[in-house]
Amino acid sequence: MAKDPVHPRDRPGEFWDERYVGEDYVFGQEPNVWMAANADLFTPGMTALLPGDGEGRNGVWLAERGLHVTTIDASPVGVEKARQLAATRGVEIDIQVADLRDWDAPVGAYDLVVLAFLHVGPDDRATLHRKIAHTLKPGGLLILEGFTPDHLGHGKGGPKDTRMMFTEDRLRDDFADLLDIDNLEILKTELPASERHGGPAAVIRLRARRKIG
């Protein structure tokens, strides 16, 4: 009997393990473009959390800039590649394997959180986003990029279920009363091509700060 396909919404670790097997880095080794565009806001010594950092391209890039980086991902295969990338580039990162939905999140711990294409199921999204926003210190910075429903049929990769994607309303609702939004833009762009990813993409980019008080 054919095996049921693993769904990223239900079993993200297994789903992404299958994709990360092999030598190449699925999303490449260059940092996320939107995160890097905000580089002037990152200073050495800041604490940074990257939930769903996969093979580590973004965590490693921040660690190279002197930030104290913690990454958490459900995929043991991805995490092993992130450890290898950190070792190759000569940086230390606290790299953890966990399903973020079960993760016991610290409150008010980080200066910076980066969410790059972390798409969970519609029943988990708001709860997870709010839990992650709470990990920020007052005034701490959140940088997020993800796919919008327009990406389906437009570009490669991304969830096949539009309910896992981001809209302006979904993000505003998820973070209401927790974040002051400084930038929220929806755009069609070209993501840098890696071996199995990149090209035309429909994305949403958010920059926001944890409310003070």
Ligand X SMILES: C[S@@+](CC[C@H](N)C(=O)[O-])C[C@H]1O[C@@H](n2cnc3c(N)ncnc32)[C@H](O)[C@@H]1O
Helix pair angle (168-175, 125-134), 10° resolution? 50
| Residues in contact with ligand X, shown as a per-residue x/- string from 14 to 33 under the rule CB under 6 A | --x----------x----x-
Cα separation of 69 and 117, whole Å?
Answer: 18
12 binds ligand X (CB under 6 A): yes
Residues 6+ apart with CB under 8 A from 89: 60, 63, 64
* Alpha-helix residue ranges (DSSP H) falling in the chain: 12-20, 33-37, 57-64, 76-89, 125-134, 168-175
Q: Which of residues 65-124 bind ligand X (CB under 6 A)?
A: 73-75, 78, 99-101, 116-118, 120
Residue 161 or 211 with smaller CB distance to ligand X: 161
Q: How many residues bind ligand X (CB under 6 A)?
A: 20
Shortest Å distance, C-beta 44 to ligand X: 22
Cα separation of 90 and 163, whole Å?
Answer: 39
180 pairs with which residues across the strands?
A: 209
Shortest Å distance, C-beta 62 to ligand X: 12
| Residues in contact with ligand X, shown as a per-residue x/- string from 48 to 67 under the rule CB under 6 A | ----xxx--xx---------
Shortest Å distance, C-beta 201 to ligand X: 12
**Contact residues: ligand X, CB under 6 A:** 12, 16, 27, 32, 52-54, 57-58, 73-75, 78, 99-101, 116-118, 120
